[in-house]
Structure 1
Amino acid sequence: MTDHDFDRIDRYWRAANYLSVGQIYLLDNPLLREPLAVTHVKKRLLGHWGTTPGLNFVYAHLNRIIRDRDLSVLYICGPGHGGPGMVANTWLEGTYSEIYPDVPQNAAGMHKLFRQFSFPGGIPSHAAPETPGSIHEGGELGYALAHAYGAVFDSPDLIAACVIGDGEAETGALAASWHSNKFLNPRVDGAVLPILHLNGYKIANPTILGRMPPEELRSLLVGYGHEPIFVEGKDPAVMHQLMAAAFDEAFDQIAAIQQAARSGGDNERPRWPMIVLRSPKGWTGPDVVDGKMVEDFWRSHQVPVSGVHSDPGHRQILENWLRSYRPEELFAEDGSLMPDLTALVPDGDRRMGANPAANGGRLRVELDLPPVDAHAVDVPTPGGARGEATRVLGAYLRDVMVRNKDARNFRLVSPDEASSNRLDAVFEVTERAWMERIEPYDVHLADEGRVMEILSEHLCQGWLEGYLLTGRHGMFACYEAFIHIVDSMFNQHAKWLKVTRGIEWRAPIASLNYLLSSHVWQQDHNGFSHQDPGFVDLVANKKSDVVRLYFPPDANTLLCVADHCLATYDRVNVIVAGKAPAPQWLTMEEAKRHCETGVGSWPFACNVADGETPDVVIAAAGDVPTIEALAAVDILRQKMPSLRIRFVNVVDLMALQPKDRHPHGLDDADFDALFTTDRPVIFAYHGYPYLIHRLTYKRANHGNIHVHGYQEEGTTTTPFDMTVLNELDRFHLVIAAVRRLPDQGGEEGRATIRHCEERLAAHRLYVEAEGVDMPEIQDWGWPYATAADAGD
Structure 2
Amino acid sequence: MPGEVIDRPNPEPSPSHVPKQVLPLSVKVQKDPLPEDANKSLKDFRRVACYIAAAMIFLKDNALLKRDLTFDDVKPRLLGHWGTCPGLILVYSHLNYLIRKHDLEMIYVIGPGHGSMGKFFPQYGRDKIGLHNLSTKFSVTGGPPSHINAETPGAIHEGGELGYALAVSFGAVMDKPDLIVTCVIGDGEAETGPTAAAWHGYKYIDPAESGAIIPIVHVNGFKISERTIYGCMDHKELTALFTGYGYQPRFVEDLEDIDTDLANSLEWALTEIQKIQKAARSGNPIMKPRWPVIIMRTPKGWSGPKKVDGEFIEGSFHAHQVPLAKAKSDPQHLKDLEAWLKSYGPENLFDEDGAPVKSILDIIPSKEGSRMGQVKDTYDPYIGITVPDWMELGVEKGTEASSMQLCGSLLDEAFQSNPHSLRIFSPDELVSNKLSAVFDHTGRNFQWDEFSNARGGRVIEILSEHCCQGFMQGYTLTGRVALFPSYESFLGIIHTMMVQYAKFGKMAQETHWRRPLGSLNYIETSTWTRQEHNGFSHQNPSFIGAVLNLKPNAARVYLSPDANCFLSTLAHCLRSKNYVNLMVGSKQPSPVFLSPKEAEAHCRAGASVFEFASTDKGLYPDVVLVGVGAELTFEVVKAAEMLKEIAPELRVRVVNVTDLMVLETEGVHPHALTNQDFDSLFTSDRPIRFNYHGYGTELKGLLFARPHTERITIEGYREEGSTTTPFDMMLVNNVSRYHVMEYALRGGAKVNEKVRVRLVPLLADLKHRIQKTRDYILENGKDKDDIYDLAMVKGSGGGVLYEG
TM-score normalised by structure 1 residue count: 0.94
SS at match of 1:574: strand
Partner AA of 1:734 in structure 2: M
Whether 1:352 and 2:377 are equivalent positions in the alignment is no
Whether 1:167 and 2:188 are equivalent positions in the alignment is yes
Pick one of 628, 633, 656 that aligns with 1:649.
Answer: 656
Pick one of 421, 424, 429 that aligns with 2:436.
Answer: 424
Instruction: Tell me the equivalent position of 1:749.
Output: 759
Instruction: Tell me the equivalent position of 1:516.
Output: 524
Partner AA of 1:435 in structure 2: Q
SS at match of 2:654: strand
Whether 1:301 and 2:313 are equivalent positions in the alignment is no
Whether 1:339 and 2:358 are equivalent positions in the alignment is yes
- Using the TM superposition, name which of 464-473 and 365-374 deviates more: 365-374
Instruction: Tell me the equivalent position of 1:373.
Output: 391
SS at match of 1:217: helix
Displacement of 1:214 after TM fit?
1.7
Using CA pairs below 8 Å that are at least 6 residues apart, which structure has the higher relative contact order?
Answer: 2
Whether 1:287 and 2:306 are equivalent positions in the alignment is yes
Distance 1:746 1:356 in 2: 68
Instruction: Tell me the equivalent position of 2:17.
Output: none
- Using the TM superposition, name which of 342-351 and 53-62 deviates more: 342-351
Pick one of 625, 631, 639 that aligns with 2:638.
Answer: 631
Pick one of 459, 462, 472 that aligns with 2:470.
Answer: 462
Residue deviations 1:608-661, cap 9 Å, x none?
A: 456x43100000100000110011111211111111110000000000013311
* 1:601-612 equivalences in 2 (<5 Å): 601-609=609-617, 612=619
Task: Check the 8 A contact 1:234/1:280 in 2, yes or no.
Answer: no
Task: Check the 8 A contact 2:529/2:631 in 1, yes or no.
Answer: yes
Distance 1:710 1:308 in 2: 55
Residue deviations 1:384-408, cap 9 Å, x none?
A: 2111111011000000001112xx0
Partner AA of 2:368 in structure 1: G
Aligned-residue RMSD, C-alpha: 1.5
Whether 1:265 and 2:284 are equivalent positions in the alignment is yes
Distance 1:42 1:410 in 2: 47
Distance 1:144 1:787 in 2: 50
Instruction: Tell me the equivalent position of 2:135.
Output: 114
Q: CA, structure 1 residues 239+565, in 2 after alignment: closer, same or farther (shift >3 Å)?
A: same
Pick one of 762, 783, 788 that aligns with 2:772.
Answer: 762
Instruction: Tell me the equivalent position of 1:661.
Output: 668
* 1:425-444 equivalences in 2 (<5 Å): 425-438=437-450
Where does structure 1 differ by over 6 angstroms across 4 or more consecutive aligned residues? 786-790
Instruction: Tell me the equivalent position of 2:408.
Output: 394
Displacement of 1:672 after TM fit?
0.8
Distance 1:234 1:287 in 2: 16
Residue deviations 1:271-300, cap 9 Å, x none?
A: 000100100000000000011100000000
Whether 1:364 and 2:382 are equivalent positions in the alignment is yes
Q: Percent identity at matched positions?
A: 42
Instruction: Tell me the equivalent position of 2:210.
Output: 189
Distance 2:514 2:74 in 1: 32
Partner AA of 2:595 in structure 1: T
Whether 1:538 and 2:571 are equivalent positions in the alignment is no
SS at match of 1:586: coil
Instruction: Tell me the equivalent position of 1:484.
Output: 492
Distance 1:593 1:2 in 2: 68
Whether 1:199 and 2:220 are equivalent positions in the alignment is yes
Whether 1:527 and 2:541 are equivalent positions in the alignment is no
Partner AA of 2:250 in structure 1: I
Partner AA of 1:560 in structure 2: S
Distance 1:787 1:154 in 2: 46
SS at match of 1:73: strand
Task: Check the 8 A contact 2:532/2:721 in 1, yes or no.
Answer: no
Distance 1:509 1:551 in 2: 24
* 1:492-571 equivalences in 2 (<5 Å): 492-571=500-579
Partner AA of 2:478 in structure 1: T
Instruction: Tell me the equivalent position of 1:773.
Output: 783
SS at match of 1:47: coil
Distance 1:309 1:118 in 2: 16
Distance 2:520 2:535 in 1: 29
Residue deviations 1:696-734, cap 9 Å, x none?
A: 111113111111110000101111110101010000111
Distance 1:329 1:669 in 2: 69
Partner AA of 1:367 in structure 2: I
* 1:205-216 equivalences in 2 (<5 Å): 205-216=226-237
Displacement of 1:788 after TM fit?
11
Count the aligned residue pairs. 763
Distance 1:474 1:138 in 2: 22
SS at match of 1:206: coil
Displacement of 1:447 after TM fit?
4.1
SS at match of 1:514: strand
Residue deviations 1:171-197, cap 9 Å, x none?
A: 000000000111111111100010000
TM-score normalised by structure 2 residue count: 0.93
Instruction: Tell me the equivalent position of 2:9.
Output: none
Partner AA of 2:57 in structure 1: I
Instruction: Tell me the equivalent position of 2:726.
Output: 719
Distance 1:37 1:586 in 2: 74
Instruction: Tell me the equivalent position of 1:251.
Output: 270
Residue deviations 1:304-348, cap 9 Å, x none?
A: 011112211111100010011101111111000112321111121
